[in-house]
Amino acid sequence: MRSAAYFNLKDIAVIFLLAMISAAINIIIPIKIILNNMGIKGPAGGMVFFGGFIFTLWISLAPLITKKNFSAVATSVLIPAFCLPISPWYGIVDPPWFGIYGIITFLIVGLIIEVFFRLKGDFLGFSIGGGLANFVCVITTWTAIGFHTNVWPLKENLLIYLIVAFVSGVLGSLIAEVFISFIRKEKRD
């Protein structure tokens, strides 16, 4: 007897499309240059300020669209998988396996979003999950970069950057929820 796959073809297409959009935004938009021109220094400044739009929004859309567990995890792991062949994770090539941090970090992000999606809470609960996901993503990325390059965020910026990272993630998940609610409302009308 043949068992059916958990994700159908539509689910797989949605997951891949969302991951590709996120990866494309991350690769194409020169966030580091934009932030440097604004006087905002990294590391991972793009993730701090725009992680909610670049990553959290697209990862959060996956379970909202597919309504299936593990779609956020699949989407989140595909994002660095699409980015790494084009450019090393944060340009770090020593050690050569540094990109594994990106995959592990995004796996954690996907898991956090999955947990908050499964709680079936209101907009606020899911949005807090997006904030926590981006917050953890920033901390793990800073730790990996700092450990291997000795480049750390400035101490005087830590608190504000962490607050901004959380808010960015909250906004990413909130935008995903509002977008899906709008689409569903339009379908009913």
Closest CA to 48 of 155, 141, 147: 141
* Residue 121 clears pLDDT 80, i.e. is over it: no
Contact 161, 41 (CB under 8 A): no
- Average pLDDT over all residues of the chain: 90
Tell me which amino acid residue 30 is. Answer: P
Angle at which helix 99-118 crosses helix 57-66, to 10 degrees, equals 50
Contacts of 131 (CB under 8 A, 6+ apart): 52, 166, 167, 168, 169, 170, 173
pLDDT for residue 172: 96
Which has the higher per-residue pLDDT, 61 or 181? 61
* Residue 133 clears pLDDT 90, i.e. is over it: yes
pLDDT digits (tens, 9 = 90+) for 10-45: 999 999 999 999 999 999 999 888 998 988 887 999
pLDDT for residue 137: 96
User: How far is Cα 69 from Cα 34, in angstroms, rounded to an integer?
Assistant: 36
* Residue 150 clears pLDDT 80, i.e. is over it: yes
Lowest mean pLDDT among 112-116, 118-122, 176-180, 181-185: 118-122
Mean pLDDT of 148-168: 94
pLDDT digits (tens, 9 = 90+) for 79-106: 999 998 888 787 777 788 788 999 999 9
User: How far is Cα 138 from Cα 17, in angstroms, rounded to an integer?
Assistant: 24
